[in-house]
Every structure is written in structure tokens, then in C-alpha cells.
Structure 1
């Protein structure tokens, strides 16, 4: 069931988790302005607008949207924010997914395994894609005119000056965003704490049914190990307060599925 607007969760100072039990996206309040990390599904628009309105704000107050990757459950409100004036940031390898629309995601980042293999073993695995469809995940239009990067760097033009950390694997352009002053690390789907296909709860890689290159995704965990202590805020599942190294240790123990 989708979260109601009043169920927005404050997961760190200046950081609110929006979305629902299946999908996370985040509103960051930096001294220089508001930032969205990922953009949920189109059906989350009312929740986001209601949350902003509590502080007398609208989407026009969002300065930037940082997309961890191009999958449609993370990009649904990107066009809404862009129309209101926000810059949309994404790794150049995933920008074609945005430009071609959400139905192109499987073509640009084909998963290693068919989803049906998970559904046959665990019928509830189909709940995630069905939820995406119900909240308009496959109906959003293309998004162009975005700002891209192709390597690790600090985004000085974005409030909070986050560090981009490329983590290819889930998609070719998957990244994390580290806000050192806030002590938070947004990992998107490069590392999650809930996998809808397998039902696993705890830090892990997303299953092969939704991941383009699991060997690369596993290798990307090594980069997370080098980051300083921070609360890990994933694209799916609850916050993980024990830092990236503890999260990657659990992910490696769980392995590839």
C-alpha cells in the first residue's frame, strides 16, 4: 500500500524519505536549497506536493534532482521538477533511458535473468512491477535537457555539494550521492535493504531479474567500502545507520541471486 502524505519519514537531520513501502525517494534540505534524490513514481506527486506545502513550498523550490539511475521507479517526478525549474542530474550512461522514456529501460539495461523465473518461485515477486504500473511508472514521458557527468566528482552547483560515486552494475550509469556535511549516503539500487524479487530484508544487491551486470555490481561494493561513515539511504528498504562498510559486508554474505 502506498504511503499517505503524512507518513513521510525523517531519516536524518534535513532529510525526509518519501515514497511508500516499495519505493524510496528523498528530499534534502541543504543550506543553499532543496534537492530531491531520485524522483519516485508519477503517483507520488500528491504526496510530494503535500509535504512541500507544509513548509509553504512547491516544486519551484527544488533546485536539483539527483537521479541514482534511470529506472522508472526512480524518475517519475523528474519532468515535474524540471518543468518547475530544477536541474536534473544523471550519469551520461543512463541519460538515454530518460530521453527514450520508461519503457526503454529494459532495452538500455537488460537484466541478467527474466523476472518470470522469480515469480514462478515466489508469486509475490510480481507485486513490485504491478505497483509501479498502478502509480504510472510506465506512462511518464521522456526527459531531455538534463545535466550529466561521466566520472566521480563533486557537484558544486548543487545545494549541499554532494559527491558523485559511480557504482555501475544495476544499470551502466548507477551512482551513489554522498553528502558529507549531512552524514548521509544515497545508494539508489546499487545497494538496497529490501529486495522485492527475493523478499530479502537487509543490505544486499538487487536480484539479477532487475540488475544489468551483477558482477560489476558486486565489484562496485569495493568503492563503497572506501567511503566514510554515513547513514546509508537506499532506493528500496529502510535506512541503514551502521555505515557503508557494514552494509557491504552483509551484501557480500548474502551474495548474488
Structure 2
């Protein structure tokens, strides 16, 4: 197990979607993966932000919608394993139903997928030097997950912020869980970083 170090967070997003690279030294995790057919854009943004693609240990989709996981198979072909939580497995083949031929989507195969449980996430992250865990955070879709770091940073994908979730009891329950576990600032997939009010 690697000793946890201070993490850095870089946004390599495009097309109105944030893609967060969480790094502990040279061990990096890409949170949300990119639109299908945009590998060149992802590579250019990683290079522009000083993130060597070869140092990305895993790619994690907060959920399997086209703007969050459409690039998964292309990244796997570049040598980046796809980190999948067990609650997400059945959602992967369903994502294709939302794609069109002009999206240039490549089906996600099982090869190169690392499927884990939520209970295993802390150990896997600690092997990268990242102190945190991955949590089941429904509210946008049933298979949504969030990365919560021990410093309070939480990567929430499309989970609606509390102020917008007044009529979404599932999302509100998810936010209660995140706050109980120490969430202090949200890194959403769309929009700016949000400091969470106590």
C-alpha cells in the first residue's frame, strides 16, 4: 500500500463537460471519460494541462451516459483500464441505445474492465496514494457513483446540487450521506466547483 499524498486536481474537460484528473504524484485517476470519437481532443487537453496520458492508472465514469463514458473503449485501447463499480455493470450495454451513428461510439467490451465493490474502492485508491473512497450516489441515475476524497473533495458527475434537488428525495438522501462522510466541495461534471455550505 502506498502512503497517501496530497492530491492535485486538474480539469481536462471540453464540450461543457468537466473531466477531472485526480493525481497523487505520478498516479492519476480520470473521473468521467469523454464523448465518443473525441480521443484527439482528450489527448490535446491532457497535454495542454501537463498530464501524461501514460500516468493515468484508471478511468472512472460516474455514470454510463454518452458524455461521461463514451470514450471508455478508446481509452482502454490506449492502455487505460476502465474502473467499474459492480452496480454499474448492467448500465454499460444500455448506454449504446442513446448513441447515433455519427457519434462514432465504440462498444465497451469486458476486456480491460476492473470491476470492484464499493468496499474495495478505498484499498484500490490507497494503492495509488489517494486517500478516499467511491460511493454509490443515486439521484441522477441508479448507477451513479461519486469519488469522495478524505480532504472533502467530492466528484459528483450529474448528481443535482441540493438547491436544485428539493423535489428529488433520492438525491437529497445522497447529499445527506456525502455530508455525513465529510464532503466539503463538489466537483460536478457540468459547471463550476461548489463550496458546500455547512
TM range, smaller chain? 0.7 to 0.9
Are residues 1:184 and 2:153 paired? yes
Structure number with larger C-alpha Rg: 1
1:57 is displaced (CA, Å) by 2.4
Rounded Cα–Cα distance in structure 2 between residues aligned with 1:231 and 1:216: 20
Rounded Cα–Cα distance in structure 2 between residues aligned with 1:32 and 1:56: 9
1:43 is displaced (CA, Å) by 4.6
Rounded Cα–Cα distance in structure 2 between residues aligned with 1:187 and 1:173: 12
Rounded Cα–Cα distance in structure 1 between residues aligned with 2:169 and 2:89: 22
1:29 is displaced (CA, Å) by 1.9
Segments of 4+ moved more than 6 angstroms: 132-135
- What is the SS of the residue equivalent to 1:42? coil
Equivalent residue for 1:61, pick from 55, 58, 72: 55
Rounded Cα–Cα distance in structure 2 between residues aligned with 1:56 and 1:220: 31
TM-score, scaled to structure 1: 0.61
How big is the alpha-carbon RMSD for the aligned residues of Structure 1 and Structure 2? 3.1
Equivalent residue for 1:156, pick from 88, 109, 123: 123
- Runs of 5+ in structure 2 lacking a partner? 1-6
Rounded Cα–Cα distance in structure 2 between residues aligned with 1:239 and 1:43: 27
Judged with a 3 Å threshold, the aligned counterparts in structure 2 of structure 1 residues 56 and 217 are, in CA distance, closer, same or farther, namely closer
Rounded Cα–Cα distance in structure 2 between residues aligned with 1:203 and 1:21: 24
Question: Number of paired residues?
Answer: 187
Rounded Cα–Cα distance in structure 2 between residues aligned with 1:141 and 1:36: 19
Residues 102 and 140, structure 1, Cα contact 8 Å, conserved in 2: no
